[in-house]
Amino acid sequence: MSSSKGGQAACPQDEVVGVGLAQLESECVYEVGDFLTTIERKPLSLVCHQLHQKTTDATYGILYRDLTISILEHNYWKKINLTGTLKTRLSKIETAFIDTDGNNKDVLPSVVECIEASNATLVHIGVDDPKRGGFSNVSGNEKGAGSGGEGVEEGGKEPVVFEKTQQLHLTDAGYLDLAEDRKWAFPSLEVLSVGKVGRERISLLPAVTHIVSASPKITSITADVIVVKEGDEWQAFTSSLSGCPKLTSISGLHLVPPENDYGEPNPVEYIYDPLGRLTTALDTNWRTDDMKGVDKTIIIHHRFSFGADFSRQLTDRSGPNHFVLQDLLNWADETKCQIVWMPREDDRLDYDRDRPPQHDDIVIDCGKEAPDTTPPAPHGPVGQLIANLTKKCDAVKFVYGGAPLHDTWGQLLTFPAATKLSIYPRDDDTAVRQVVSSIPEWLVAKDQNGNSTHLPAIQDLYIDMCGYSNTGAHNNSLPTGAEAGRLEQLLGGLTGVRRVWCMAKSLRAVSQCVSYLHARELKKLRIRLGEESDALPDSSHVPVPSLAYPSVNSLRVSNKYEDISKECARSVLSLLMSIKPVKASIDLTLSTESLAGTRRRDLWGDADRARSYALWDLRLEAERRVGSAYDVVSVMCMRNSLRMELVRKEGGKGEKGKRGKRGGSKGK
């Protein structure tokens, strides 16, 4: 054999020596096997005598020392009957790693048997559900596997003691519930990691309490979600911490407002009061001489809402533990515990493409009707905490519908790193025009370049002007001229904004908000007309004339929930031709009434066919109106829906009117 292009030829006597798995050291075989599941490792032991010895070796043999199961192998393990030699070999495993999909019925009897049979040798147990399942919807009562899942026998009266287990990772709700039901105990446990064990109505916190109460050597407890809520379960959990003298780290606590009681529209909130039980329990060990110099950490997820309710809670000690936020900060300083505050993510919702993700790590709450004077901003440790939080915050939510925050809040609520801002009404009864009167004067301050001093880095903006209980043009309209000054100043100061979502009943209000933006260019503008948009008069949808708009690369207009009138659809086309984006997508569903009553109905005597012809006429009208500026990439009429994809022509013209200052054209 010779190599190409002048390479040297190999001599016949040259010997090529290969190195296979059998020639590797036992340690290397162990490392290779670590990438395989138990089933995938089995063939290695059958290749040759050498590999058989190395895979079953007492020190490095990975076949019967580690139990590893992927989601795709569950059906295989359901069929395995552990008897004889196999049962003996799998009764001395040292580590167990099982991937699940959150299906409670997938608690595998054979795996439970292996784990319990290896209770004297297991050092690390991991059962991971990437989806963090095991809960039903928020109104259900489903827990985990309960009695151990399908095919798993009820736990006995005697506990199963895992003498050497130091790390326990149970993010699968079924196996966590199983640990409590079958009385698993871990006297040597040091690190515990669990999933979403506590929600407002569904909880597996008792299972965690069961594990912690019998683990005196535990040093770290990590959870995806433990809801801090006053009650028997929280009291039992905190009490169990008293028996953990080596505990130094707790992660995953979530502070949440109380559930809404519709019989009590304004419930008194004691968000921070339940933490009094936690500090009392930890004082048992954390104030001892042995723990004085030890680093301690508590990670708390919380959505701070700065407003009238927050100010009240700073001094209101009428909760069952008479505990407020200031007490927590003082306690942390005295015990040398670092409190790490993180934003909440447990209640994030999945939105469609017309709505953004939630922007509410911190809330500026101007949605409460204040008394004669609004409370001033706090100072001292709480004030310093707020200043530290706002410096790092990425997503801010502004709630309108009430009185602006006191001027002293302006010194604390500056968000230099925030890239996301959402503007929401207080509730469904809030009139859109109240957004203007709710904005504090300090929030609209600008630097010499016209950029907001309190929100200088905003790139994503969501504006909700869709109070579902509001009806009538007045409640869904914005003031104009000088009366809208603060809203114009606030939006105009967001010079770095690139993506905007607007949801409103009135297209006219949307046109005002977009015109207030002084951004150089919007990469994305999404407009969605909310419920009952068709209940407003057609004048509520006509864009305000003579407005200038920023340049927009991509515009999408849709109405997700309820139908709109044909005149509203025409106003959408008018706004489109005024903004004149590079690309546009229209997805509109029109009301049956607005498509009825044409002469074609009399001609055909068929209401459905008449509406189809009316929709077709609207399509042709739309193509004529946009034809001077856009190429129609695609168009579809289906039932009552009109969908169009448009791309602006080179040098395309909008509707009559002069070019706007910022790239769009002035609407007619």
Number of domains in the chain: 4
Closest of 450, 376, 447 to residue 413, by C-alpha: 376
> Is residue 201 domain-shared with residue 336, that is, in the same domain?
no
> Is residue 31 domain-shared with residue 95, that is, in the same domain?
no
Residue 165 lies in a domain: yes
Closest of 204, 205, 203, 156 to residue 184, by C-alpha: 156
> Is residue 189 domain-shared with residue 49, that is, in the same domain?
no
Give the whole-number percent of the chain exceeding pLDDT 70: 74
CA 273 vs CA 8, 305, 319, 323: distances in Å: 82, 16, 6, 5
Q: Which amino acid is at 236?
A: A
Residue 534 lies in a domain: yes
Q: What is the pLDDT of residues 366-402, one digit of tens each?
A: 998 866 667 899 999 999 999 999 999 999 999 999 9
> Is residue 554 domain-shared with residue 616, that is, in the same domain?
yes
The boundaries of the domain holding residue 330 are: 254-260+268-346
Q: What is the distance in angstroms between the CA of the first residue and the CA of the last residue of the chain?
A: 81
Domain end marker among 62, 89, 108: 62
Domain end marker among 32, 62, 92: 62
499 Ramachandran zone, left/alpha/beta (phi>0; psi -120 to 50): beta
> Is residue 75 domain-shared with residue 123, that is, in the same domain?
yes
Residue 4 lies in a domain: no
Residue 237 lies in a domain: no
Beta bridge partners of 642: 588, 637
- Measured between alpha carbons, how far is 432 from 509 in angstroms, rounded to an integer? 9
Regions of the chain with pLDDT less than 70: 1-35, 40-64, 84-86, 102-106, 133-157, 199-202, 258-268, 349-357, 370-373, 467-475, 531-540, 560-561, 597-607, 652-668
- Measured between alpha carbons, how far is 513 from 399 in angstroms, rounded to an integer? 16
> Is residue 28 domain-shared with residue 74, that is, in the same domain?
no
SS (H, E, C) 281-300: HHHHHHCCHHHCCCCEEEEE
Angle in degrees, CA 645, 463, 626, rounded to 5: 25
Angle in degrees, CA 389, 390, 396, rounded to 5: 115
Q: Token digits for 146?
A: 């309960």
Q: What is the pLDDT of residue 106?
A: 66
SS3 of residue 502 by DSSP: strand
Q: Which residues contact 651 (CB under 8 A, 6 or more apart)?
A: none
The DSSP element (H or E) to which 340 belongs, if any, is: strand 337-342
Q: What is the pLDDT of residue 661?
A: 44
Q: What is the pLDDT of residue 156?
A: 58
| pTM score over 0.75 | yes
Place of tokens 């992927």: 70
- Measured between alpha carbons, how far is 177 from 204 in angstroms, rounded to an integer? 7
Residue 527 lies in a domain: yes
Closest of 566, 558, 582 to residue 654, by C-alpha: 582
- Where does 480-550 have alpha helices with state H? 485-492, 507-516
Residue 379 lies in a domain: yes
Q: Token digits for 72?
A: 């795709």
The DSSP element (H or E) to which 328 belongs, if any, is: helix 325-335
Beta bridge partners of 160: 184
Q: Which amino acid is at 464?
A: D
Q: What is the pLDDT of residue 603?
A: 47
Q: Token digits for 83?
A: 């008897």
Q: Which amino acid is at 121?
A: T
Q: Are 423 and 462 in contact (CB under 8 A)?
A: yes
> Is residue 420 domain-shared with residue 307, that is, in the same domain?
no
Domain end marker among 62, 92, 119: 62
In this structure, the number of other CB atoms found within 10 A of the CB of residue 537 comes to: 13
Place of tokens 């039932």: 639
> Is residue 32 domain-shared with residue 73, that is, in the same domain?
no
Q: Which residues contact 273 (CB under 8 A, 6 or more apart)?
A: 230, 319, 320, 321, 322, 323, 324
Max intra-chain CA distance, the chain: 102
Q: Which residues contact 625 (CB under 8 A, 6 or more apart)?
A: 573, 577
Q: What is the pLDDT of residue 332?
A: 96
Q: What is the pLDDT of residue 339?
A: 97
Q: Are 581 and 555 in contact (CB under 8 A)?
A: yes
Q: Are 415 and 386 in contact (CB under 8 A)?
A: no
- Measured between alpha carbons, how far is 566 from 621 in angstroms, rounded to an integer? 11
> Is residue 162 domain-shared with residue 287, that is, in the same domain?
no
Residue 3 lies in a domain: no
> Is residue 327 domain-shared with residue 437, that is, in the same domain?
no
Q: What is the pLDDT of residue 348?
A: 72
Closest of 632, 619, 627 to residue 653, by C-alpha: 627
> Is residue 187 domain-shared with residue 274, that is, in the same domain?
no
Residue 626 lies in a domain: yes
> Is residue 525 domain-shared with residue 619, that is, in the same domain?
yes
In this structure, the number of other CB atoms found within 10 A of the CB of residue 451 comes to: 17
- Measured between alpha carbons, how far is 24 from 8 in angstroms, rounded to an integer? 31
SS (H, E, C) 344-370: CCCCCCCCCCCCCCCCCCEEEECCCCC
Q: Are 86 and 114 in contact (CB under 8 A)?
A: no
